[in-house]
Amino acid sequence: MGIGIKEVAKEAGVSIATVSRALNNEGYVSETAYKKVVEAAKRLNYEPNYLAQSLLKQKTNIIGVVVSDIGTSFFSKILKSIENCAFEKDYSIMICNIEEDLEKEKKYLSVFKRMCVDGIILTNEQTDEELLGQLAAMPEIPMIACSCHIDGISCASVNIDDYKAAYDAISYLYRLGHRKIAYFGAGLQDFTVGRQRYEGVRDSLADKGCPMKEQYVRLSGLKIEHGYKMMKNMINSCKDDLPTAIFAGSDDVAVGIMNCAFDFGYRVPEDFSILGFDNSEISASMRPAISTVHQPIEEIGYVSVNTLIDLIEKEERQYSSLVLPHKIVERDSCIKIFP
């Protein structure tokens, strides 16, 4: 049998109610009694039963986090930020890496509900009607969309303006003299962020009198291997009319593009200027260092956690949509040319 508050009360020579108030910081306890309880708990190596406390308070101090793919630089960084902020606020996180598996996500959401998590952070878009229905059936659990967009349920959100970020990325390459600009991004189907970035690229090119060329657009995933494969396909299919610059939908994709270019004997930035997205650690560690669109990943994670905790701890919930700023980070992978 473990040590409980009954044993602590006996050791301290006080009532069980006094021990409960002292250990939970609830109600009045004299300084003398508090000191007796703390010293007795230390002597007995008492550890509080957090499960019992959670049942009593109807609060677990656990936040569920749904992550699309923990293997990418973006999600790895944002998850670290979420974890650090939650720890500072005395919350624990339960991470669910769904790897874009819909059934896995549905199962994890059921686990969240059974575990009575206090709130949920969603980092992936939800479009499946059954899954949206599952989320809508949990109105008692506050949720926040972190760097994604979710329609059909009540939740807060923290994002950047992905359309404007992509528009600005093309404008930057255009100012460097590039007119033949390719875009390697995420698929458009059921992916709002992917659509917004695609539309930002398309409109920015059109506004500059450079209509988007179909052969310069490659849509797939956002990992290094996806960037490599998309670049290889473009080199093989557009060998006589290659772009001078490529805007990548993530820094991981930019790394894959660069690796493929090197393998085919091309130079960066002399043959291809490459602009990434995210400003993750990998972009600065490459040689040449990758120019990129910075989105404040750490801040997105911190703001998401703080916003969610506010929703958890307030009786009246008002869901807000926050948009954080982006900027271009110039490094060595882009070069000025003369069109």
- In tens, the pLDDT along 18-28 reads 888 887 777 78
The two tokens of residue 102 are 């819909």
153 pLDDT tier (thresholds 50, 70, 90): confident
Instruction: Tell me: pLDDT of 56 over 60.
Output: no
Instruction: Tell me: pLDDT of 295 over 90.
Output: yes
Peptide bond into 325 cis (omega under 30): no
The C-alpha atoms of residue 220 and residue 257 are separated, in whole angstroms, by 13
Quickly count: other Cβ atoms within 10 Å of residue 161's Cβ. Answer: 16
Instruction: Tell me: pLDDT of 157 over 80.
Output: yes
Which tens digits make up the pLDDT trace of 200-252?
A: 999 999 999 999 999 999 999 899 999 999 999 999 999 889 999 999 999 99
Q: Give the rounded distance of the alpha carbon of 94 from its chain centre.
A: 14
102 pLDDT tier (thresholds 50, 70, 90): confident
147 pLDDT tier (thresholds 50, 70, 90): very high
Lowest mean pLDDT, pick from 76-80, 98-102, 269-273, 287-291 = 98-102
| CB-neighbour burial class of residue 241 (10 A; exposed 0-12, middle 13-18, buried 19+) | exposed
Question: Could you give all domains of the chain from N- to C-terminal order, each with its CATH number?
Answer: 5-48 (1.10.260.40), 62-160+297-325 (3.40.50.2300), 162-295 (3.40.50.2300)
Instruction: Tell me: pLDDT of 105 over 60.
Output: yes
Mean pLDDT across 30-51: 82
State residue 314's pLDDT score. Answer: 86
**Mean pLDDT, the chain, as a whole number?**
91
- CB-CB contact of 89 with 305 (8 Å): yes
| CB-neighbour burial class of residue 54 (10 A; exposed 0-12, middle 13-18, buried 19+) | middle
- CB-CB contact of 192 with 126 (8 Å): no
State residue 52's pLDDT score. Answer: 55
pTM of the complete model: 0.84
Residue 328: phi and psi, rounded to 5, are: -85, 130
* pLDDT over 70 percentage in the chain: 95
Sign of CA dihedral 68, 73, 78, 84: positive
Place of tokens 């690229």: 201
54 pLDDT tier (thresholds 50, 70, 90): low
The C-alpha atoms of residue 40 and residue 267 are separated, in whole angstroms, by 70
